[in-house]
Chains A and B, each alone.
Chain A
Amino acid sequence: MNGKQPIFPRWVDDVTRLIAILFAGGLLYVVVLTLYATSPRNTAVGYMPEQPIPYSHKLHVNELGLDCRYCHTGVETGAKANIPPTQTCMNCHNTIHNQSPKLEPLFESYRTGKPVEWIRVHDLPDFVFFNHSIHVNKGIGCVSCHGRVDKMEVVYQDQPLNMGWCLECHRNPTPNIRPLDRITDLRPIEEVLGIKTESGIEDACSELAAKYQVNPKVNCSTCHR
């Protein structure tokens, strides 16, 4: 009886090892999953696909001073802001840069009547029913969701556009409110309002929110139908 009899049978070692491996694996799984789910790749922040025409918002908005609504005509009245038809581009490009090889897909579309196939950047899931008009008419500016498009050579996704992000604003919209006549102004709110103090900005935004009767809902059926 001097040979020490192990308390547990030998196979317990295997089980212990297995449990350890499973535990470590599980931990790794959770870490990877968390990192993956929150990575910009997943939320698509910074998603910047190459477009058929290297259209520069920076040039058109910042340097030429086009208003967003010149092209995105549906934004105040409809659910969709709309990508402009070829005709809109050709209003100017009939005479300006009308030989540019970069614009060839545009000219081809104009000749053939076939659409230019742009790649969608801001893509919400199909079970989300987003409406531009209600946001724009309640004082939520373009910049809140689309970022400084006036500084983008190529358009990319600026905000995560996930549900938590939507709800943040639906619960407290005030910081994102701007005057309706400056809705397409992409500058920061302090520059738009010309107010320096934080409390001043807050007061001004709250006043606007009250004026526009901003009362966003957080019901499921507000966005999911």
Chain B
Amino acid sequence: MKNSSSVISRKQLQGSGRTYWRSLNEFAGSAEYEEMMKREFSAVATEAINDTTRRDFLRVMGASLALAGIGISGCTWPREKIAPFANRPEGYSPGTPVQFATTMEHMGYGTGLLATSYDGRPIKVDGNPRHPASLGGAQMLHQASVLNVYDIDRQKSYTDRSSGAATERDRSAFVNWVANNQIFKGRFAVLAESSSSPTLQSLRRSLGDRVLWFEYEPVSRDNERDAMQLLFNQACHPVMDLTQASVVASFDDDFLLNHPASVMYSKQFAQARSLDSGAPTRLYCFESVMSVTGANADHRRPLRTAEVGAALAALAAEIFVSKRHPLPPGTENLASLFQQYSGLSLDASVMDAIKLLATDLVSLKGKAIVTVGPRQPAAVHILGAMINQAMQNTGHTVRYVSDPVQDRFSHSLAFSELAAAASREGVRNLVILGGDPVASAPQDAGVEGILGGMENIVHLTSHANATSALAHWVVPRAEYLESWGDAYAWDGTYSVTQPLIEPLFDGMSPLELLALCAGDERNAHDIVMQNFSELSGSTDPERDWRRILHEGSSAIRLAAHSETGNFGLGLGPMTALASMPATQGLELVFLPDNCIFDGRYANNGWLQEAPDPVTKLTWDNAAVVSFKDAGELGLKDGDVVKVSIGNVSTELPVVIQPGQAAGSVSLSMGYGHSKLGRIADGVGSDIFMLRDSEHPDFIPGGSLSRTGRTMELASVQDHHAIDELGMKERERRIPTLVREADYRHYKSSPDFAQHMVHQPADTQLFVTPQFNGHRWGMSIDLNACTGCGACLVACVAENNIPVVGKQRVLEGRELHWVRVDRYFSGDVANPQSVHMPIACQQCENAPCEQVCPVAATVHSDEGLNDMVYNRCVGTRYCSNNCPYKVRRFNYFNYQKTISDTERLVKNPEVTVRSRGVMEKCTYCVQRIQNAKIRAKVEKRELRDGEIRTACQQTCPSDAITFGDLSGIGTMVSQRHADPRSYEILGELSNRTRTRYMARVRNFAEGSPELAADQARLAAGAHGGGHGEGHEAPHGEDASNHEAEH
């Protein structure tokens, strides 16, 4: 049982695979997993306990007694001071949180946000409901961005190396240096990060020929841009309207998470998947790496990233050759190329899906979308756009919007052009606006050489890094919550970034630094405001400025692009797709990390500790390999491998990921720092050096070799494992936890979810609680949930949940109040997945309450399961007795070790818990109480939807509904009454207040997925509709679900 992969294959051959499983270790029953089950606590945890000797114990006890003595004598209130304003701003009431509309840029595009300020410090960020690209939702990284402000490892001073040795100076020294130096009077180059800011561009224009502009980010969408430039003779990008689409086909595009418009697309996708308007939108996905989008697909086919283009070419051949669909005008020259495409030899299962997709596309003209991901070469984007054009999707489900920055080099050309400018025009001065190009550039770009040839380098950066080590001036960067700015969203909406706080470390924004270089003496506020009034052409700029600051978005849009592309021009690049890419060695795919992106958020503890939505890994990156490759190479989870390409290599631990394409290894960026900050340092491995200019996104010919070492990976998926008996019971129950069916089955029996488990008569051991007033409840729609993890980080931000670190996560001591369980089902090489957010279910008959010896967890008369920290003595009986395993215990006083700066992010509305107490989801009781008080003070009834929990508020796909179950017609009571609604572990008669809504898939007619689903239902038909019988249904249910294999 050494090798989990071989175990899996054996089990598979025997056909005894389980219907649902949580991780491969569990699936295979690996030795480590069984060892883990035997020990109640993980090895590290028990070893830590045993290390304490009796003598240590006595010493500690003695010390605490002595401290107690001091404590009693000093047991008086600390004297607190109240420092009121000398002159309080009008309309400002201390202690009352205020929200401001602002904008955060990510991947070069803005997302409209509402930032909450409490007495002048930003403590929470949420989506702005009035901004069309966020619609009130926010992703993990938006939620966590507020923590970046209080990062104590940020660059804090102006480091001056202009005259040799580094000295720490202040802002005025730098401003003087710029003013007294002639360098910005002459020509200089700017190497910026992606930004859509029109004000930044207007400053650039004001510099005229003096500035040479380059843009570089390690994660770029410029392949798409290059394709659109060719087709439309203008840089533009496609904007999808998923709500109008019945079929969406993603070719390696993770539009639900790694996309500048992921919030907007998640909202749209949830709407498209909703059952209110007929069948849910069908999603096909062709990708190598299991992405969040892939995890939500009805039909997902894993294939190497290099083959995704071939799959799209095969689709074109299927449509235009097999189905003889006419080519759109102007593309007749492509006919023979498409003939060649029919010869592509793809895997049979991929071809099956392509055929189904082609049928769907042809029959649903104007109601489908083909979308191509940023890793794919321009040719694939051209072909995707061409298919959208031919299928009449363009103009209906896809439109094009001009790029905000037209005149710039592609990211892939940034360094060669910069080098050329340096040698040709003798540019010797460089301003780097953010990022770490020295570390993140492709290894053959020669960035260090280019920078070495510069006389003056000014580097604006949030953290000291490899690039700033070469800079002559290192300028601390102000976060977006500290600076004025503006941005366009992916859909073209203009919005403004407004600061909530003065820069904590006196930093500058890119805008301010460029203005300084340009000799512009206006402050950043005035620059942005004046640029806004020029853009808006407003007659009353003052009023319009105040309005955009209040609303967070305006009517200003990027130009729509309605001309038809010249697809005939695509012939040249698309010829490359006519033959299958060579398969040599393993393909290495470089991904932005699902949590810390390209590494810019590496020092953010909330993101490091947030489990990756797909691998469920915290605090590390890994070489994600397929089950097949792992079997061939004899690898198992946690084996450290040497990943090599050519003569460069790095070492990473292995994670075997169901659904990963065979022959493809995915590596996420942004880890392996050594001098960035106390969170980031020593976490994971750097993979940037594996990339070269030709292959910045994926590269063939890689290899993995074992180093013989292993590493513990802090994956949260196997936590809460119990003994074998418990495991068996849990396995049996998984299909009853996540309930799903195909749309056809749902149509014939909409209440299928309620008949999947036998609900015994509701006999109560205890007095049945009665609730007369508000009855708070929650509904989570599994059909909408994409598993992105935004709820988890929102909860961390709202409820002051500490970061515990990798070691504690390994011990199973993470403190997240929400976890997102991930279940796989079906074929291990290409499974279906379901995500299920679980927080306290707020049972009316709460099992935790019955066992607490000190009444530290009790019921409120509104049905909340209150947790009273001051009463808790830490017996942890409640956690033992909780069937949902949602209670978290504070083993350490995590709040004690953090600095005063980091404390500023805490939400003053929520108790900061100390060591030794249990904690868990409260349904954001602080929000409930404050809303109730507000309504009473205003002498009105509470409105439905007025109280929103933090997870609900941020959810990019509106999967979570919260409200009053006793209210008539409230959203949540409607959802609880929905036939899809069910209670998890309802057979325990806990009467949970949180209920789930079953997932409904929409498999294509004739697909293997549909056949499997129907087989499962046919096998389960006789088990359905169980009424009074007590013995049969349980056992039957279990066997039914196992019969799927």
Task: List the B side residues contacting A221 at CB < 8 Å.
Answer: 860, 864, 866, 922, 925, 928-929
Q: Which one of B87-95, B306-314, B719-727 contacts A?
A: B87-95
Contact with A along B69-88 (1 / 0, CB 8 A): 00000011101111111111
Contacting B at CB under 8 A, from A109-123, are 109-110, 112-120, 123
**A77 close to B93 (CB less than 8 A):** yes
**Interface residues of B, Cβ cutoff 8 Å to A:** 75-77, 79-88, 93-96, 858, 860-862, 864, 866, 868-870, 909-912, 922, 925-926, 928-930, 933, 936-937, 939
Instruction: Please pick, from B86, B930, B937, the residue contacting A114 in the complex, using a CB distance under 8 A.
Output: B86
For residue A37, which residue of chain B has the nearest CB? B75
CA of A42 to CA of B74, assembled, Å: 11
Beyond A224-B869, A225-B922, list 20 extra A-B contacts (CB 8 Å): A41-B76, A78-B96, A80-B93, A80-B94, A82-B94, A83-B84, A86-B85, A112-B86, A115-B86, A118-B83, A119-B79, A119-B80, A129-B929, A134-B936, A138-B936, A220-B868, A221-B866, A222-B860, A224-B911, A225-B929
The 9 A-B residue pairs with the shortest CB-CB distance, nearest first, are A219-B860, A115-B83, A80-B95, A85-B88, A120-B80, A85-B85, A86-B86, A220-B866, A83-B84
Q: Are B926 and A225 in contact (CB under 8 A)?
A: yes
Complex: chain B residue closest to A110, CB-CB: B86
**Candidate in B84, B928, B937 with the most chain A CB atoms within 10 angstroms:** B84
The reply to whether A127 and B911 contact each other, CB–CB distance below 8 Å, is yes
Query: Assuming A127-B911, A129-B909, is B95 touching A82 (CB within 8 A)?
Result: yes
Whether A116 and B84, one on each chain, are in contact in the complex, defined by CB atoms closer than 8 angstroms, is: yes
14 pairs of residues in contact across A and B, judged by CB atoms under 8 Å: A74-B96, A79-B96, A83-B82, A85-B84, A86-B86, A86-B87, A113-B86, A120-B79, A123-B77, A129-B909, A131-B933, A134-B936, A220-B866, A225-B922
Q: Which residues of A contact B96 (CB under 8 A)?
A: 74, 77-80
Task: Tell me the complex Cα distance, A134–B931, Å.
Answer: 11
A80 to B119, CA, bound (A): 12
Say yes or no: A119-B81 contact (C-beta < 8 A), given A74-B96, A217-B861.
Answer: yes
Asked if A38 lies at the interface with its beta carbon under 8 angstroms from chain B, I say no
Contact: B862 with A109, CB < 8 Å? no
Q: Is the CB of B84 within 8 A of A74?
A: no
Q: Which of A87, A114, A222 lies in contact with B929, CB distance below 8 A?
A: A222
Measured in the bound complex, the distance between the Cα atoms of B937 and A84 in whole Å is 22
Count A-B contacts at CB 8 Å. Answer: 125
Please tell me which one of the listed residues A49, A78, A84, A86 contacts residue B79 in the complex, with CB atoms under 8 A apart.
Answer: A49
Cα–Cα, bound, A50→B860 (Å): 41
Measured between C-beta atoms, what is the minimum distance from B732 to chain A in Å? Answer: 36
Cα distance A131–B933 when bound, in Å?
A: 8
Given A77-B937, A221-B860, A225-B925, also A126-B83 (CB < 8 A): no
- Contact between B925 and A137, CB atoms less than 8 A apart: no
Do A82 and B860 touch across chains, with their CB atoms under 8 A apart?
Answer: no
Residue of B nearest to A108 (CB): B86
Q: How many residues of A contact B (CB 8 A)?
A: 45
A residues sitting closer than 8 Å to B (CB atoms) are 41-42, 44, 47, 49, 73-74, 76-80, 82-87, 109-110, 112-120, 123, 126-127, 129, 131, 133-134, 137-138, 217, 219-222, 224-225
Query: Inside 8 A of A120's CB, which chain B residues have their CB?
Result: 79-82
Contact of A225 with B81 at beta-carbon distance under 8 Å, contacts A78-B93, A86-B87, A110-B86 already known: no
From B84, B93, B925, B929, A84 is in contact (CB under 8 Å) with: B84
Instruction: Chain A residues near B937: list those with CB within 8 A.
Output: 76-77, 133-134, 137
Bound-state CA distance A85–B88 (Å) is 6
A219 touches B93 (CB 8 A): no
Task: Tell which of A74, A112, A133, A138 touches B94, judged by Cβ atoms closer than 8 Å.
Answer: A74
Please, which residue of chain A has its CB at the minimum distance from the CB of B864?
A: A221
Q: Which residue of B lies closest to A213 (CB)?
A: B936
Shortest Cβ distance from residue A100 to the other chain B in the assembled complex, whole angstroms: 18
Q: Which of A42, A74, A80, A115 contacts B85 (CB 8 A)?
A: A115
Could you say which residues of chain A place their CB within 8 Å of the CB of B864? Answer: 219, 221
| Bound form: Cα–Cα A79–B84 in Å | 16
Which residue on B lies nearest to A127, using beta carbons? B911
The reply to whether B87 and A220 form a contact with Cβ atoms under 8 Å apart is: no
Residue of B87, B861, B869, B870 near A219 (CB, 8 A) is B861
Report whether B95 and A115 are in contact in the complex, using a CB–CB cutoff of 8 Å: no
Contact present for B858 and A220 (CB under 8 Å): yes
By beta carbon, the residue of chain B nearest A79 is B95
Chain A residues with Cβ under 8 A from B860's Cβ? 217, 219-222
- Asked if A133 and B79 make an inter-chain contact with CB atoms under 8 angstroms apart, the answer reads no
Q: Is the Cβ of A118 less than 8 Å from the Cβ of B84?
A: yes
| CB-nearest residue of chain B to A106 | B86
Closest to A52 in B: B81
Q: Which residues of B contact A77 (CB under 8 A)?
A: 93, 96, 937
Cα–Cα distance between A186 and B37 once the two chains are bound (Å)? 66
In the bound complex, what is the Cα–Cα distance between A137 and B932 (angstroms)?
13
* Alpha-carbon gap, A110 to B95, bound state (A): 22
* Bound-state Cα–Cα, A115 to B933, Å: 30
For the complex, give the distance between the alpha carbons of A102 and B933 in Å: 40
**Cα distance A127–B866 when bound, in Å?**
14
Contact between B86 and A85, CB atoms less than 8 A apart: yes
Chain A hits for B77, CB < 8 A: 44, 47, 123
Residue of B nearest to A218 (CB): B861
> Which residue of chain B is the closest to A131 with respect to CB atoms?
B933
Residues on the A chain within 8 Å of B925, using CB: 221, 225
A118 and B868 within 8 A (CB)? no
Task: Give the chain A neighbours of B75 by CB distance below 8 A.
Answer: 42
Specify which chain B residues have a CB less than 8 angstroms from the CB of A42 in the assembled complex: 75
Contact A73 B93 (CB under 8 A): yes
CA distance in complex: A207, B81 (Å): 40
